[in-house]
C-alpha cells in the first residue's frame, strides 16, 4: 500500500485532534468537577461528558477503583484511536507510548505476585483491581498473579518484549534485593527502545519529540539523584547506575561532582539549580499531607516534581502553537488527555473523602 503524504496525514490529524482539544477546553469539565460540592454532583457532571462510562460504573458499584479502571481503559483506547490515524514510524512511537501503559501494568502485576509469594501477604482484594485485558501483547495477567515462582513468571512472559529483562534475574536475586532492580531494568529497556524509535523519525518529528523526551529524562535523572543520592544516601556508583544515559544531566560534571561527595554533604538544590535555575522559585504544594522543614529530601523531591509538571506544560503549550505538521500535536494531545484523566481521578477521590476544593486544587496542581 502506498504511504500517504505526511502533510496530508498530519493535516487530517491536526483537524481531528484540535477539535478534540478545543472541546476539552470549551467544556471546562475539570473546572466544573473541582467546583462540584459533593461526589454525587461530580459524578452527575461525568454523565454528560465523554467519561459517562465512569459515571455508569459508579452507579452500578459505587467503587472508586472500578472507576479508575475505566479511566485507564479510556486512556488505552485513546492511544489506539490515534494510532489508526498514523502510519509508519509515528505509529510505532504511539504504540511504544501505549507500551509504557502495558509496562506499568506489568510492574503492578509483578508487585502483587511478589507480595503474595515472597512476602506471604494476601492480595485477593488488590488483584481484583488489576487491569486484565489485552493492551498490546498477549500477556496472561491472571496467570502472572497466580504464578507460584519466578520461573513460572519467566515462562509466562516468553516471547514478549519483557522476556530478556525478566530472564536476567533469578528468584534468589529478587528475594535478596527486591523488585527495585527488576523495575529499573524494565524502565531502562523501555527508554532504550524509545530513543531507537526517535532516531528513525523524520528530522522534524525527531527534533520535536526529542525536545520533549530529553527534558523528561533530565528531570527524571535529577529526581533520581535527589531521591537516591541524597534522601536514601546511596553510594555514587549505585546511583550512577540508575541514571538514564541521555540528556544533559547524566554525563555532566555537576552530577559527577555531586555523586563524588559523601551522601550527607550532597547539596541537591544546588545541583538542581545548575540545570534549571527557576526551580528555586517554585513554591512547594503540600501534596502528601504535612511536609515539614526538617524533611529536606521530601521538599526537594516535591520541588522537582512540580517543576517537571510546569516544564512539561510549557513545552506542550509551545508545541500547540508551533508547526502543525509534526508528531508534536499528537504528543501534546496525549499530555492534555492524560492530565485531564489524572485530574478527574484525583478529584473523584478528593470528593469521596470530603476534601475541600482548595485542597484538591493543591493536589492536582
Would you list the DSSP string of 302-336? HHHHHHHHHHHHHHHHHHHTS-SSSTHHHHHHHHH
88: left (phi over 0), alpha (psi -120 to 50) or beta: left
- Confidence at residue 326, expressed as pLDDT on a 0 to 100 scale: 87
How far is residue 37's CA from residue 347's CA, in Å, rounded to a whole number?
A: 11
- Confidence at residue 57, expressed as pLDDT on a 0 to 100 scale: 95
How far is residue 347's CA from residue 361's CA, in Å, rounded to a whole number?
A: 8
Residue tagged 482548595 (cell numbers): 358
Cell of 339: 492530565
Beta carbons of 245 and 216 less than 8 angstroms apart? no
DSSP character at residue 265: G
pLDDT by 10-residue block (mean), the chain, 365 residues? 66 79 78 93 92 94 94 94 90 96 97 95 90 96 96 98 97 95 97 97 93 89 89 93 96 96 90 78 51 51 70 78 82 87 92 90 75
How far is residue 350's CA from residue 187's CA, in Å, rounded to a whole number?
A: 30
Could you tell me the pTM of the whole model? Answer: 0.88
- Confidence at residue 150, expressed as pLDDT on a 0 to 100 scale: 97
Residues present in the chain in total: 365
Task: Give residue 43's Cα distance to chain centre.
Answer: 25
- Confidence at residue 339, expressed as pLDDT on a 0 to 100 scale: 86
How far is residue 225's CA from residue 297's CA, in Å, rounded to a whole number?
A: 11
**Number of helices and strands in the chain (H, E):** 19, 0
How far is residue 194's CA from residue 188's CA, in Å, rounded to a whole number?
A: 10
How far is residue 53's CA from residue 51's CA, in Å, rounded to a whole number?
A: 5
How far is residue 104's CA from residue 183's CA, in Å, rounded to a whole number?
A: 9
- Confidence at residue 1, expressed as pLDDT on a 0 to 100 scale: 41
| CA gyration radius, the chain | 22
How far is residue 21's CA from residue 28's CA, in Å, rounded to a whole number?
A: 11
Burial of 218 (0-12, 13-18, 19+ CB in 10 A): buried
- Confidence at residue 321, expressed as pLDDT on a 0 to 100 scale: 77
Determine which helix (DSSP H) or strand (DSSP E) holds 86, and give its type and residue range.
Answer: none
How far is residue 106's CA from residue 43's CA, in Å, rounded to a whole number?
A: 30
- Confidence at residue 291, expressed as pLDDT on a 0 to 100 scale: 40
Beta carbons of 129 and 66 less than 8 angstroms apart? yes
- Confidence at residue 279, expressed as pLDDT on a 0 to 100 scale: 66
Burial of 205 (0-12, 13-18, 19+ CB in 10 A): buried
Contacts (Cβ under 8 Å, ≥6 apart) of 201: 89, 90, 93, 209, 327
Task: Give residue 264's Cα distance to chain centre.
Answer: 30
How far is residue 203's CA from residue 198's CA, in Å, rounded to a whole number?
A: 10
How far is residue 195's CA from residue 198's CA, in Å, rounded to a whole number?
A: 5
Beta carbons of 245 and 255 less than 8 angstroms apart? no
- How far CA 104 is from CA of 75, 128, 183, in Å, comes to 13, 17, 9
Q: Of 256, 255, 302, 245, which Cα lies nearest the Cα of 275?
A: 255
- Confidence at residue 280, expressed as pLDDT on a 0 to 100 scale: 61
Q: In 3-state terms, what secondary structure has residue 269?
A: helix
How far is residue 215's CA from residue 228's CA, in Å, rounded to a whole number?
A: 20
Amino acid at each position: 500500500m502506498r504511504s500517504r503524504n505526511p502533510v496530508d496525514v498530519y493535516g487530517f490529524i491536526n483537524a481531528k485532534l484540535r477539535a478534540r482539544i478545543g472541546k476539552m477546553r470549551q467544556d471546562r469539565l475539570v473546572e466544573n468537577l473541582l467546583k462540584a460540592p459533593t461526589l454525587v454532583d461530580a459524578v452527575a457532571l461525568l454523565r454528560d461528558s465523554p467519561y459517562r462510562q465512569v459515571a455508569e460504573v459508579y452507579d452500578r458499584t459505587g467503587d472508586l477503583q472500578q472507576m479508575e479502571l475505566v479511566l485507564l481503559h479510556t486512556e488505552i483506547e485513546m492511544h489506539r484511536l490515534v494510532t489508526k490515524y498514523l502510519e509508519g514510524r509515528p505509529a510505532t512511537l504511539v504504540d511504544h507510548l501505549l507500551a509504557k501503559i502495558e509496562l506499568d501494568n506489568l510492574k503492578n502485576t509483578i508487585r502483587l505476585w511478589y507480595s503474595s509469594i515472597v512476602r506471604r501477604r494476601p492480595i485477593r482484594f488488590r488483584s481484583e483491581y488489576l487491569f486484565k485485558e489485552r493492551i498490546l501483547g498477549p500477556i496472561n495477567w491472571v496467570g502472572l498473579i497466580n504464578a507460584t515462582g519466578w520461573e513460572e513468571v519467566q515462562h509466562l512472559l516468553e516471547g514478549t518484549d519483557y522476556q530478556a529483562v525478566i530472564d536476567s534475574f533469578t528468584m534468589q536475586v529478587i528475594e535478596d534485593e527486591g523488585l527495585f532492580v527488576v523495575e529499573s531494568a524494565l524502565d531502562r529497556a523501555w527508554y532504550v527502545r524509545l530513543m531507537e524509535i526517535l532516531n528513525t523519525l523524520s528530522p522534524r518529528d525527531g527534533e520535536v519529540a526529542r525536545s520533549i523526551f530529553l527534558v523528561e529524562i533530565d528531570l527524571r535523572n535529577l529526581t533520581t539523584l535527589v531521591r537516591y543520592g541524597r534522601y536514601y544516601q546511596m553510594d555514587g556508583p549505585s546511583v550512577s547506575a540508575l541514571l538514564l544515559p541521555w540528556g544533559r544531566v547524566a554525563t555532566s560534571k555537576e552530577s559527577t561532582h555531586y555523586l563524588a561527595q559523601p551522601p550527607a554533604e550532597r547539596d541537591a538544590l544546588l545541583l538542581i539549580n545548575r540545570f534549571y535555575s527557576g526551580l528555586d522559585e517554585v513554591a512547594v504544594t503540600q501534596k502528601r499531607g504535612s511536609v515539614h522543614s526538617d524533611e529536606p529530601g521530601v521538599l526537594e523531591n516535591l520541588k522537582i516534581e512540580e517543576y517537571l509538571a510546569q516544564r512539561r506544560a510549557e513545552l506542550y503549550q509551545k508545541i500547540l502553537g508551533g508547526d502543525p505538521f509534526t508528531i508534536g500535536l499528537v504528543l501534546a494531545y496525549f499530555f492534555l488527555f492524560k492530565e485531564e484523566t489524572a485530574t478527574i481521578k484525583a478529584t473523584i477521590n478528593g470528593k469521596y473523602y470530603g476534601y475541600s476544593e482548595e485542597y484538591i486544587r493543591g493536589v492536582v496542581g
